[in-house]
Structure 1
Amino acid sequence: MNESVYVYSGDLSEKSEEILTKIGEASEDLLSQLRHSPLVNIHAASNRFDFYTKIRIRRSRSEQTILALFNRDTADALLAEESSEVIEIVAGITRLNINTGNGRLEIIDERETVAFGFDSEYRFMNVSGKKVFSENLNHNNGLEKDRWEYLRLNVSPVRLRNGKVVKYIVRGF
């Protein structure tokens, strides 16, 4: 749910990673479906009354885990649009799902990560292209930022109405 509104919710549990692996590239279709009626409906209270909606697991009265929080900001994410422009960015890979090709990157001299994906199905990418991203993640993992290696990427930004970029679609590197 968080991924469908471009909210990074941290690393997934081992069990969640296994499920995502089984789903594979169908996860993109699932995200697209979620962005339609289910998440539009869940934002009704936010859009009309400026309330928020929480999805949580309640194991007991005192032990609760919030899975997702929806408000006007996440409602705006449902209206994000991919730009037709292609720009160049310099970024390091901070997360990569090798089954879906989705991940997160951090632009040089920025502090926040941004989601990314590819313009074609990841499984059809050549192995050398996949290795560029996985090796960058492997190199940067655990290093101080001043020792990171960065990639030059040609991307199309996915923007909210206010101009904020919530995802980059990689067109070339």
Structure 2
Amino acid sequence: MSINFDIVIESDDYTAEMSAGLETLVGASDATSHIAHALLLGRVARKLKKEKSRISQTMLGTFQGSYGLNFCIGSEDIEIKQKINDIGHEVFAELTSYFINEALYLETNVLSPKAEKILINLGEDIPEQLVSQLQKSSLHKLHSYSKNFGKKVKLRYKKNKATQVTLANIDQKSYLSLVPNTDLTKVVIDASITRFNINTGNGRLYIKGADGTVAFGFTNKYKEIKHHAKKMFTNNLDKCNGTPNDNWDTLTLSCTTLRNGNGAIVKYLVQGVE
């Protein structure tokens, strides 16, 4: 019942500097373990080493190519085994990718209906706490090799011996988003809503002419946002779904921003709709 992963560090000669390499492997272990705790136990672990967990991780060995390590997540606990079976390995991997990319302010793939239902059932607090926890330590460790040596790292789900699915691409650019700077300068944008989580208030928006979408949330706690304001975002999302982006309706939003180390905006924090 174990879910198989691997972590791959880009290397020209199948070797990796030991200190940064080990820290990167620990980051992959911690990140997937935090996500497993949230999905299987319904809570976010603050300090993994102090947890008497029913969830275990096992190193399975290295492989040829770029430097890498196989590992798995599993349990001897009957209840946890059943939860893993209920979620399914592919959906577990799908949500692992979702949470890591959310924590890095990167666009995620559209979730399958089953993954979307599991995410909604987690409620408002657990996804927010999990993303915050990943940003505190795990993802900093996972970026250790990219930060120090400029090499790319991949976290992958091993569907079978021949098929690996990339869950997260780690590099120097993604590292810059880990410690964003808050810019309180007010900006007004005309944006279309392309993703919106009705539990957390986080999503993605598109500004006409941009290369892609950008994360957004709210400056106030989402619980404090009035229903009619939330409805404006869901209505805009509904109107944009299934139509060419040239015809998308827009909302005029007053925002502050989070910017990465290069000054690029990684998230808009909505103050109001104008």
CA shift, 1:30, in A, is 1.5
Pair 1:125 & 2:215 matched = no
Pair 1:63 & 2:163 matched = yes
Residue in 2 that maps onto 1:50: 150
- 1:3-30: CA deviations, max 9, x gaps? 1111112111223212221223222222
CA shift, 1:163, in A, is 1.4
Q: How does 1:73-152 map to 2 (within 5 A)?
A: 73-152=173-252
Residue in 1 that maps onto 2:25: none
Residue in 1 that maps onto 2:133: 33
CA–CA separation in structure 2 for the residues paired with 1:70 and 1:147 = 34
Residue in 1 that maps onto 2:9: none
Question: 1:36 is matched by which residue type in structure 2?
Answer: K
CA–CA separation in structure 2 for the residues paired with 1:157 and 1:62 = 42
- 1:95-122: CA deviations, max 9, x gaps? 1111111111111332411110111222
CA–CA separation in structure 2 for the residues paired with 1:146 and 1:48 = 42
- 1:130-151: CA deviations, max 9, x gaps? 1111111111222223322211
Confirm or deny: 8 A CA contact 1:108 1:150 kept in the other structure: no
Confirm or deny: 8 A CA contact 1:25 1:121 kept in the other structure: no
CA–CA separation in structure 2 for the residues paired with 1:131 and 1:155 = 18
Aligned CA-pair RMSD: 1.4
CA–CA separation in structure 2 for the residues paired with 1:40 and 1:147 = 40
Residue in 2 that maps onto 1:160: 260
Residue in 2 that maps onto 1:20: 119
Identity of aligned residues (%): 39
CA shift, 1:51, in A, is 2.0
- 1:65-114: CA deviations, max 9, x gaps? 11112111111111212211111111111111111111111113324111
Change (3 A) 1:90 1:22: same
CA–CA separation in structure 1 for the residues paired with 2:219 and 2:187 = 14
SS at match of 2:128: helix
CA–CA separation in structure 2 for the residues paired with 1:23 and 1:84 = 31
Point out the structure with the larger helix share: 2
CA–CA separation in structure 1 for the residues paired with 2:216 and 2:158 = 32
SS at match of 1:32: helix
Question: 2:171 is matched by which residue type in structure 1?
Answer: N
CA–CA separation in structure 2 for the residues paired with 1:18 and 1:82 = 32
Residue in 2 that maps onto 1:169: 269
Residue in 2 that maps onto 1:3: 102
CA–CA separation in structure 1 for the residues paired with 2:247 and 2:145 = 46
Change (3 A) 1:144 1:32: same
With the length of structure 2 as denominator, give the TM-score of the two structures: 0.60
CA–CA separation in structure 2 for the residues paired with 1:28 and 1:156 = 20
CA–CA separation in structure 2 for the residues paired with 1:158 and 1:112 = 17
Confirm or deny: 8 A CA contact 1:92 1:107 kept in the other structure: yes
